[in-house]
Amino acid sequence: MQRDAKNNSWVSALMTGLIIVLVLGVFGKSQAAGLLKPKNGGADQISIKKHAVSVVLNNGYARTEVDQIFTSQAEQDLEAVYSFPLPREASLSELSLWIDGKEVIGEVLEKKKAQDIYQQQKSAGKDTALAEKDDYKTFDVAVYPVRAGQDTRVRLVYYQPLRIDLNIGRYVYPLQEGGTDEERLAFWSVDDQVDEEFSFDLVFKSAHPVKDVRLPGYMQQALVEQLPVDVGEEHGNGTVYHARIDSKEGARLSEDIVFYYRLDDTVPGRVELVPYRQAGAAAGTFMLTITPAASLAEITEGTDWVFILDRSGSMSGDKLTTLADGVGKVLSKMSAADRFRVVTFNNRVHELTSGFIEASEGNVQQTISQLKGVTAEGGTALYDGLKSGLRRMDDERTTAIVLVTDGVANVGPTAQAEFLKLVDEQDVRLFTFIMGNSSNRPLLEGLAKASGGFAMDISPRDDIYGRILQAKNKVFYQALHDAHINFKGGGMTDLTPTDIGSLYRGQQLVVFGKYTSPGPVQITLDAKVSGEKQEWTCETILPDSDTDNPEIERLWALARIEQNMETIRNIGETDALVQEIVGIGKEYSLVTDYTSMLVLDEQEMENLGLERKNSARVQRERQAMETREAQPVRSYRADQDGSGGMFKGLPSPGVGSGPVGPWMIVLLLVCGWIVRRSGGYNRSV
């Protein structure tokens, strides 16, 4: 297939296909984060006594700290295994265990070596903890011993980059698993109860004016306040918000916590560069965030919609009901010029409509009625469902294909390479909604990237219909295709991502890299809009020394690791790729598919000759965090003079006037429905 043909124009691209993937996990009876207990292993007596979460959103990334106390009423020492869904683009970089009242910080080793040492320490009855990554699904933390009749304290920290979409930012603390791992569900039960104290404390700092913030479902329960900030010429008009949820009577770790923030509509398109470099170091590290304000024309012709809906057994219960409701809302908003098809799949594929039908009121109501009669059973032939949806498209019309699934295929082809081949055979763009935790995010994001589309995460706390509206705000506008970022000066190396692809309306571009030559650097972004190449440039200074954000090094390392993991998922493991991941994981102290974090007594670490790299790195990061807390909000604008052209104007506005647009009303109604089902929020997180 000729990829250049995709970039000729946005209209021709849409004529050949659009896929939105909704990974559905709403309201279903899903696993929650918490203590794992074998279903046939008897009733051990470990419980979660305290769960305290502290989040800071600042400088384009988030720091999440989870402090937990396990307690035991058993007569013998026991092992606790705590599991939580893998956050998006997260680097688990701290695991601390309190031994004899003193915090001991974990170090990263190759996975097998860490497992062996943990088992040896456990067999000897010594204090130890182990953090591992279970592919794309979870982080699992094992702790031994939780001593009989005593408390055991554990803390973990992870970092992740943040992105603004249509001036709207979003942070998710994931607690609800997707329930997609059948073997895991068969073996474990989950104790998601916090017996005594739960707290969620979030501080959001912005160098730009903020229009609104929101915690859907928790606005009545949470304390949300805007804090006064120091204002000066150097730092500009910063904004700081504080949000806190407290429960002294326990809680359940069963529902995600989503925090939205919307920047003021006057905030311009911009280039922001956050550096980290110690004086005299061979190289510095940076995170570059570009928020385009390019003029992108709206596309107004009628659209064909194809809904590919998963009706496998994992979609049972409220999932199908919610699915029918969400699709019905989309159908009811279609224009008279639109048409649609509906395809369902489990072990096999079945089409509810006979080809495309007009989006008339009668057709819409009849289809909604049919959807309500669909039952969930069987396996997940995701490949066949997707393949069927790619057929029978009309090359003369814009086509949007909506695939609703958990993304975990178990019937027919399941390898990522097979799905990529299927997409590569079609001149289509995939736009993926990834809903629910523990879903096969790598597959769905890989498909979107391979086709030049985009991916959007959806939490059960979000609203399907609203997120589709947000996507439509991108889909029906021109995009920046075949985008490239270039640097003149700075001695730039190790950039990631190496392949940008397309940027859609409201999307940010985040690039990590190293620089070896402090001083002036010219940053250029070029892309095609309707087949015509355009270029935008700005200049900034790379500092010789800036130690405010050492966390940038871990974020760069994680991005580099994920790039290698994408290659492994596409073509398979090679010794070179695995060894590079292990090397980066150990150097920057990250839990990966091939490395784990191990905590031992200080003397045991010394006896085993374990280098304390992470302990030293954590101390630098904690000191920098304390320094930032005492300083005004800092702006990292790299185009302060507005010379960037496309960065001089305003970015594409958000959907509506609220933090997430007019569909927030729908979201609040949905959250109210959850409250009625659960009996309120006082016992549920």
> Which portions of the chain are predicted below pLDDT 50?
1-30, 232-235, 644, 655-685
Q: Which of 20, 18, 16 is nearest to 394 (CA)?
A: 16
pLDDT at 510 (0 to 100): 94
Q: What is each CA distance from 141 to 33, 106, 204, 537, in whole angstroms? A: 12, 12, 28, 46
Rounded distance between C-alpha atoms, residue 517 and residue 527, angstroms: 27
Label residue 469 left, alpha or beta by phi (over 0 means left) and psi (-120 to 50 means alpha).
alpha
Name all domains of the chain by residue range, CATH numbers in brackets: 3-27+297-475 (3.40.50.410), 288-295+479-582 (no CATH)
Q: Which of 461, 438, 440 is nearest to 190 (CA)?
A: 438
Q: Which of 436, 353, 337 is nearest to 388 (CA)?
A: 353
Check if the beta carbon of residue 307 is closer than 8 Å to that of residue 402.
yes
The whole model's pTM is what? 0.83
Q: Which amino acid, residue 209?
A: P
Helix, strand, coil % over all residues of the chain, rounded to 5: 25, 35, 35
pLDDT at 218 (0 to 100): 85
Span 165-222, pLDDT tens digits: 888 888 999 887 655 566 666 667 888 899 999 999 999 999 999 999 989 888 888 9
**DSSP codes, 641-661:** T-TTSTTTSPPPPPSSSSTT-
Span 604-627, pLDDT tens digits: 999 999 999 999 999 999 999 999
> Where would I find the beta strands (DSSP E) of 297-338?
303-310
Span 239-291, pLDDT tens digits: 999 999 999 988 988 888 999 899 988 888 889 999 999 999 999 999 999 98
**Total residue count of the chain as it appears in this document:** 685
Rounded distance between C-alpha atoms, residue 655 and residue 466, angstroms: 9
Burial 662-677 (b: 16+ CB within 10 A, else e): ebbebbeebbeebeee
Q: What is each CA distance from 460 to 151, 333, 434, 555, 572, in whole angstroms? A: 33, 22, 11, 26, 32
Check if the beta carbon of residue 128 is closer than 8 Å to that of residue 98.
no
